[in-house]
Chain A
Amino acid sequence: MADEPLLELRGVNKSFGPVHVLHDVDFTAYRGEVTALVGDNGAGKSTLVKCISGTYAIDSGEYRFEGKPVSVHSPRDASAMGIEIVYQDLALCDNLDIVQNMFLGRERTRFDLLDETSMEHSAQETLASLSVRTVKSVRQRVSSLSGGQRQTVAIAKAVLWNSKLVVLDEPTAALGVAQTAQVLDLVRRLADRGLAVVLISHNMLDVLQVSDRIATLFLGQMAATVKRSDVNQQQLVELITTGQSSSLDLGQSGALKGAHA
């Protein structure tokens, strides 16, 4: 697939006071691929995402984007490069409609007045290009949408801004079966459009269903980065819970450095 990684983190460390949360973490995401980031609670997934998004500055290590080393100090830096994070708690305003939410903070204006027509048009186009048919009208308030529809809007927002890398934090955590399927479908379509997608999830089935590559964090270290085709569910669970898998040849793909209790 893609030869050069879009996002590449090398040897990233992050501590909060005495607590060393990330140890020499390597992480890559490729264009056109869904890279799943899995790990148990407290493994450092959120911290890693916040390092990617610029919410936290990394202590040491290398942050490369599109092949060039960059320094990311704030979420603004990250979004300027084309990194969009879709958070678990969605970050949508219930009292605004879909168009207003999709353009929040980046409204288009003409003569200093909001250009509603052009924004509504683009929102519609974006949703259509993602084959979203579940939303009746883009002028619906978000409060009237189901969980799946909200997730769809949040993801479409990322696409609208021509993001290159989209990080989805537990996008299916609160969804029912049918809605989960819809959202996963959408996740796949994002990658097919050439975006690099990072999917954070607790749900093994989701991960195995849509991802191309799976990165496993264990106690702040990258236990393994494997191709989807190389693992089964049991091996994945082993990796998450123990940091290693006896039945899996981790070879060059980056086995855990150092022993763990």
Chain B
Amino acid sequence: MSTTDQSTEAAANDTPALAESAEAASALAGAAATAPQGGSPRDYFRQYLQRIRGGEMGSLPAITGLVLLVIFFRIVHPTFGGLFNFGNMLTEGAGPVLIAMGLVFVLLLGEIDLSAGYAAGVCAMVMVRLMVGYNVPVVVSVGAALLTGVVIGLLIGLLRAKIRIPSFVVTLAFFLAFQGVALYIANNGKGQTGDIRITDNFVNGLEHDQLPVWGGWLFGAICVALYAVIKLLTQNSRRRGGLPTEPPLIIALKIGALTVGVFLAVFGLNQNRAINKTPIPQNINGKIQFVKPPALEGIPWVVPLIVALFVIWTLMLSRTRYGRHIYAVGGNEEASRRAGIAVDRVRASVFVLCSFMAAIGGIIIGSNVKSVSVSNYGGNTLLLAVGAAVIGGTSLFGGKGRMIDAIIGGAVVEVIYNGMSDLVKGTNSSSVQYVVTGLVLLLAAAVDALSRRRAGATGLA
């Protein structure tokens, strides 16, 4: 749980793209990290370097990669860094990021959920089928989708924890089966198209509507204030307990950097990022008038959704007994059992959280294209999500990882995807994307495995 805040913020400043969610994300991660040791800012920095050398790199490789990728794509492709594309990447990456957030729970126990992509598809399909086919109110439809996620997760969790089938096999089986389930729901068992258009404004609005400009500023202010309050309260309580505290300079720097990053991102998103801003001549009541096209400005609604879920899950993982037990079981199952932790219950529960998040991710992916199509939830979506979590720094071996990893890693994956699609034109574009994303996942897994070995070898001073 190393604090990588400064670097996150540095990265965010370089890349207005993706900064928004990653910003607020890093905020809580910092508050949640194991209390750092006291001393001067120099000691603090030295301890930080020491942790990195010991293989405890956290999100550092991902953030470095993110910065390099953004610089690279900006050079080779001028429109990449534009505000329109920034907004685009936020909404495009939101679905995989949400699924990745769920996968972090599962990965923390050293498990895997290969079915998360199609589980997302099934849940989204349940929602849209209820709304379109049966005119069920949106609240109930969305609730049913989330409930479907919980039930799926419970099923996987019980098969894993009670029957003890390896999660790889359980979820591979569901990966295959859910594709069929999603198709069946889409076609109502009659064999038709495999996708249904979303007509509901609320669901589509999650990705396509924006917070008002003032709402964006308020949201940014709330993020910063929340971070500062948590940070200062922690500091205060440690000082009262006579424990070493973080140097005030470092705290001030963190809060300052977060403020700058968040407000830069809010400022950027509050600009009109519509590509066509020139007034269009229109015939109104027989007169030709120049009408401005509707502005595209403000933070997409999905961003506060991600930030809220991020805050809740981060608090849960780092500040509750249940969260602590997830890490413990992921670190040493036998030790956890002896400490009286209900290991099986913890193991089953992470799959529930994962599929629940998959349900939300599935709805967002549907919202992004205003339609739920089985093909949008294939192995691709799942790979992006697993890739996001692992690239962000969550270990495949269990016991190590944070919610922020899903967001930072998701940003990396999205930048690659978006950048590549602009870079390689023509029919080979998607094949190149697959290969590159696959290689990046491999690289991330290698970094994970190597840093693990390094931590073992150095004994981590």
Q: Which residues of A contact B (CB under 8 A)?
A: 75-76, 79, 87, 89-97, 100, 104-107, 109, 112-114, 116-118, 120-121, 124, 137, 139, 141, 143-146
B242/A144 in contact, CB under 8 A: no
CB of B330 within 8 A of chain A? yes
Question: For B237, what are the chain A residues with a Cβ–Cβ distance below 8 Å?
Answer: 117
Kindly identify, within residues 218 to 238 of chain B, every residue whose CB is under 8 Å from any CB belonging to chain A: 237-238
Could you list some 15 contacts between A and B, CB below 8 A? A89-B334, A90-B335, A92-B335, A93-B327, A94-B332, A95-B399, A104-B328, A105-B328, A105-B340, A105-B341, A113-B319, A116-B35, A117-B240, A139-B37, A144-B461
Question: For B332, what are the chain A residues with a Cβ–Cβ distance below 8 Å?
Answer: 91-95
B334/A109 in contact, CB under 8 A: no
CB of B425 within 8 A of chain A? no
Question: For A100, what are the chain B residues with a Cβ–Cβ distance below 8 Å?
Answer: 34, 324, 327-328
B98-106, B112-120, B270-278, B452-460: which lies at the A interface?
B452-460
Which chain A residue lies CB-closest to B333? A93
Q: Complex: how many Å from CA A87 to CA B399?
A: 21
CB of B433 within 8 A of chain A? no
Question: For A114, what are the chain B residues with a Cβ–Cβ distance below 8 Å?
Answer: 318-321, 324
CB of B208 within 8 A of chain A? no
A120/B459 in contact, CB under 8 A: no
Which chain B residue lies CB-closest to A113? B319
Question: For B400, what are the chain A residues with a Cβ–Cβ distance below 8 Å?
Answer: 95
Known A-B contacts: A95-B327, A100-B324, A141-B460. Give 7 more (CB < 8 A).
A90-B335, A91-B339, A93-B327, A104-B339, A118-B241, A137-B37, A139-B36
B241/A146 in contact, CB under 8 A: no
A255 CB, nearest partner CB in chain B, Å: 36
Q: Complex: how many Å from CA A244 to CA B459?
A: 45
Q: Complex: how many Å from CA A124 to CA B35?
A: 14
A76/B461 in contact, CB under 8 A: no
Residue in contact with B399 in the complex, picked from A90, A93, A104, CB distance below 8 Å: A93
Q: Which residues of B contact A (CB under 8 A)?
A: 34-37, 54, 56, 237-238, 240-243, 315, 318-321, 324-325, 327-328, 330-332, 334-336, 338-341, 399-400, 455-456, 459-461
A121/B241 in contact, CB under 8 A: yes
Q: Complex: how many Å from CA A96 to CA B329?
A: 11
Q: Complex: how many Å from CA A79 to CA B459?
A: 32
A108 CB, nearest partner CB in chain B, Å: 9
Which chain B residue lies CB-closest to A117? B241
B320/A120 in contact, CB under 8 A: no
A8 CB, nearest partner CB in chain B, Å: 25
A113/B320 in contact, CB under 8 A: yes
Most-contacted residue by chain B among A97, A105, A106, A144 (CB, 10 A): A105
Question: For A94, what are the chain B residues with a Cβ–Cβ distance below 8 Å?
Answer: 331-332, 399
Q: Complex: how many Å from CA A261 to CA B305?
A: 76
Q: Complex: how many Å from CA A106 to CA B340?
A: 8
A65 CB, nearest partner CB in chain B, Å: 19
Which chain B residue lies CB-closest to A104? B339
Given A93-B399, A117-B241, A141-B460, also A109-B335 (CB < 8 A) = no
A115 CB, nearest partner CB in chain B, Å: 9
A146 CB, nearest partner CB in chain B, Å: 7
Given A105-B340, A137-B37, A144-B461, also A93-B335 (CB < 8 A) = yes
Which chain B residue lies CB-closest to A122? B241
B399/A117 in contact, CB under 8 A: no
B338/A91 in contact, CB under 8 A: yes
B243/A121 in contact, CB under 8 A: yes
B399/A139 in contact, CB under 8 A: no
Most-contacted residue by chain B among A93, A112, A137 (CB, 10 A): A93
Residue in contact with B336 in the complex, picked from A79, A105, A120, A143, CB distance below 8 Å: A105
Q: Complex: how many Å from CA A100 to CA B331?
A: 12
A14 CB, nearest partner CB in chain B, Å: 20
Most-contacted residue by chain A among B34, B315, B335, B341 (CB, 10 A): B335
Given A114-B321, A120-B35, also A93-B336 (CB < 8 A) = yes
Which chain A residue lies CB-closest to B395? A95
Which chain A residue lies CB-closest to B323? A114
Question: For A92, what are the chain B residues with a Cβ–Cβ distance below 8 Å?
Answer: 332, 335
Residue in contact with A96 in the complex, picked from B56, B320, B327, B460, CB distance below 8 Å: B327
Q: Complex: how many Å from CA A208 to CA B340?
A: 34
Given A105-B341, A121-B243, A144-B460, also A139-B335 (CB < 8 A) = no
Which chain A residue lies CB-closest to B335? A91
B331/A95 in contact, CB under 8 A: yes
Given A117-B238, A141-B460, also A93-B320 (CB < 8 A) = no
Q: Complex: how many Å from CA A79 to CA B340?
A: 10
Which chain B residue lies CB-closest to A99? B34
Q: Complex: how many Å from CA A235 to CA B339?
A: 39
Q: Complex: how many Å from CA A76 to CA B340?
A: 8
Most-contacted residue by chain A among B37, B339, B341 (CB, 10 A): B339
A97/B335 in contact, CB under 8 A: no
B29 CB, nearest partner CB in chain A, Å: 16
Question: For B338, what are the chain A residues with a Cβ–Cβ distance below 8 Å?
Answer: 75, 87, 91
Which chain A residue lies CB-closest to B401? A95
Which chain A residue lies CB-closest to B400? A95
Most-contacted residue by chain A among B34, B240, B399 (CB, 10 A): B34
Q: Please give me the 6 A-B residue pairs with the lowest Cβ-Cβ distance, nearest first.
A: A105-B339, A93-B331, A144-B460, A95-B331, A95-B399, A91-B335
Question: For A124, what are the chain B residues with a Cβ–Cβ distance below 8 Å?
Answer: 243
B385 CB, nearest partner CB in chain A, Å: 23
Which chain A residue lies CB-closest to B36? A139
Question: For A112, what are the chain B residues with a Cβ–Cβ distance below 8 Å?
Answer: 320
A192 CB, nearest partner CB in chain B, Å: 27
Q: Complex: how many Å from CA A90 to CA B331?
A: 13
Which chain B residue lies CB-closest to A105? B339
Question: For B238, what are the chain A residues with a Cβ–Cβ distance below 8 Å?
Answer: 117, 120
A104/B335 in contact, CB under 8 A: yes
A120/B399 in contact, CB under 8 A: no
A120/B331 in contact, CB under 8 A: no
Which chain B residue lies CB-closest to A116? B35
Residue in contact with A104 in the complex, picked from B36, B54, B336, CB distance below 8 Å: B336
